[in-house]
Amino acid sequence: MSKTVYLTTPLYYVNAAPHIGHSYTTVAADALARYERAKGREVFFLTGTDEHGQKIERAAAAAGKTPQAFVDEVVEHFHRLWTMLNISHDDFIRTTQPRHARIVQAVLLRLRDEGALTRQVYQGWYCTPDETFWTEAEVVSSGGAGGTPMCPACQRPLEPVQEDGWHLPLRAHQDWLVRFVKAHPEFVQPASRYNELASLLEQPLPEALCITRPRKRVGWGIPVPFEPEHVVYVWFDALINYISVPGYGEDPARFARLWPADVHFIGKDILRHHAVYWPIMLHALGLPDEQMPVRIVAHGWWKVGEQKMSKSRGNIVDPTIVIREVLAGQPYAADVYRYFLLREVPFGQDGSFSEEALQARLDADLANDLGNLVNRTCSMLTRYCEGRVPAGGTLGAQEDELRRAALELPAALDQAMEGLAFSAALEAIMQLVTRANRYIEAAAPWKLAKQPRDRARLEAVLRVLAEVLRVTAISLEPFMPSVAGAIWQQLGCGASPRRLADAARWPVLPAGHPIGTSAILFPKRFAATAGGPAA
């Protein structure tokens, strides 16, 4: 049996409800999962939540709840958001589930039994918001010598820790990792992040990573099976999800089908954990190079204006508010939001969220371009051809040009998706849409409809437009699944699948094919309050 395409998102902390940043990673992973499925491949798309550790323990205490009650409550925000955003994950792992904890414990036992761990005292610094250890040499100081030690990643104050615990050697694996990374230039993407990893590996790594924490400091974690007074360090616990769900050590057939991961989607903040700790953990477990994750894709950061989103600044963008309130009245609000996230910023770069930018994309790309094309095409088919796709006859030069542009789209889409260039993929689709709209203007079917002698040309024009809509709907499926479905319905294609292979075929719609009922996809703003539908 061929290997399943295995895609993952980070497991998000359940200390608070998800924001736009979390939704970005998940929407991107979902677009790739849907694209792979539309290509006819078997996909396993995993997301979930990271539920242990000090940060969550403290958030639960602040809320006056037990950690378990707290995480059970917060995880619901993630479930609801993924439903709202039409995320097509195949599984949702919570690190508090026994199916995960059991494998984390088995991994620890195995590493300890094989002598791969050391027991020693850790002395250094800890960033609780990032749940990350830092050595003395790595910390930065606020305001020169004698200043507060700060986290080099998030610039928040660190806490000193001195703990006796189990460690995973890092430096002992460094030569192997350097060789592996050099031999696999696709291991980390985009190239800027690969270079970041390469330069990180030019310095000696810390001797070892502390992977257990004493219960007296952190009570909320998976118990270390051979050390009752310790729990597992939250990152060591969470990273294992990527192999615990495929059944590492328990279900060899399933593991062989799923592992290695084809893409770990992450944000650039957690590159070190995924591109240093994680491969070293797998290497320590004895996994060969061929079983390392294929690609780790670290995207950029969403800001609000020029500012980082943070609770203290009070500028966290809540996707549910964007969808329900900012995009109120849009029947496909979740798809508008998905489109904005993936189209606005080239994957890998930082982006800035604003309601104005969202509205501008909605107005220009979706309402004026895509919505207009669908609406004009379907209403002209209804008006001039009794709601049936005409045979079309011989195509003129302009029709043939548009047909060729449509037939070039699948290759452009493949190329963009291979490089995870979601915004380039959407740009290619929208270029076809813009071109089709220009073609409508030039062909002016409403004029052709007035002259019986222009009937053949009118039918050729509408035939070509119907096929362009078909190709557009199929191509939009990974990004805007509900809109793709709506165009499909309006075209009268009903429940038949949208397969990318069919985007490269032409013509497909049989002559006389009845189209469905037309409806506005992206109503203009204020249409409801302006006393009637917008013109």
Chain residues 49-68 in contact with ligand ME8, contact rule CB under 6 A: 50
Does 347 bind ligand ME8 (CB under 6 A)? Our answer is no
Residue 179 CB partners (closer than 8 Å, separation 6+): none
Closest approach, Cβ 11 to ligand ME8, in A, equals 5
Q: Could you tell me where the DSSP H helices lie in 149-277?
A: 174-183, 191-200, 234-239, 241-244, 252-258, 271-272
Q: Which of 6, 24, 126, 347 binds ligand ME8 (CB under 6 A)?
A: 24
- DSSP string covering 427-446: HHHHHHHHHHHHHHHHH-HH
Q: Closest CB to ligand ME8 among 50 and 459?
A: 50
Question: What is the number of other CB atoms lying within 10 angstroms of the CB of residue 496?
Answer: 9
What would the x/- binding string for ligand ME8 be over residues 255 to 274, using CB under 6 A? -----------xx-xx----
Closest approach, Cβ 468 to ligand ME8, in A, equals 34
Q: Closest CB to ligand ME8 among 50 and 369?
A: 50
Strand (E) or helix (H) holding 43: strand 43-50
Q: How far apart are CA 282 and CA 19, in angstroms?
A: 31
Q: Closest CB to ligand ME8 among 265 and 332?
A: 265
CA angle 137, 123, 61 (to 5 degrees): 110
Three-state SS for 280? Answer: helix
Q: Which of 4, 5, 7, 12 binds ligand ME8 (CB under 6 A)?
A: 12
Does 13 bind ligand ME8 (CB under 6 A)? Our answer is yes
Helix axes 191-200, 174-183, angle to 10 degrees: 150
Closest approach, Cβ 63 to ligand ME8, in A, equals 17
Nearest CA among 268, 237, 9, 273 for reference residue 132: 273
Closest approach, Cβ 317 to ligand ME8, in A, equals 9
In the bound state, the residue with its beta carbon closest to ligand ME8 is 21
Q: Closest CB to ligand ME8 among 105 and 244?
A: 244
For the chain, the distance separating the N- and C-terminal CA atoms, rounded to the nearest angstrom, is: 55
Chain residues 222-241 in contact with ligand ME8, contact rule CB under 6 A: 238-239, 241
Q: Closest CB to ligand ME8 among 245 and 374?
A: 245
Phi-psi region of 115 (alpha: psi -120 to 50; beta: other; left: phi over 0): left
Q: Which of 180, 301, 449, 455 binds ligand ME8 (CB under 6 A)?
A: 301
Chain residues 302-321 in contact with ligand ME8, contact rule CB under 6 A: 302, 309
Nearest CA among 452, 116, 503, 68 for reference residue 284: 116
Does 244 bind ligand ME8 (CB under 6 A)? Our answer is no
Q: What is the dihedral of CA 305, 311, 314, 319, to 10 degrees?
A: 70
Q: How far apart are CA 298 and CA 190, in angstroms?
A: 7
Does 221 bind ligand ME8 (CB under 6 A)? Our answer is no
Q: Which of 22, 77, 167, 361 binds ligand ME8 (CB under 6 A)?
A: 22
Q: Closest CB to ligand ME8 among 19 and 463?
A: 19
Does 461 bind ligand ME8 (CB under 6 A)? Our answer is no
Does 154 bind ligand ME8 (CB under 6 A)? Our answer is no
Does 48 bind ligand ME8 (CB under 6 A)? Our answer is no
| Interacting residue ranges for ligand ME8, rule: CB under 6 A | 10-13, 21-22, 24-25, 50, 238-239, 241, 266-267, 269-270, 301-302, 309
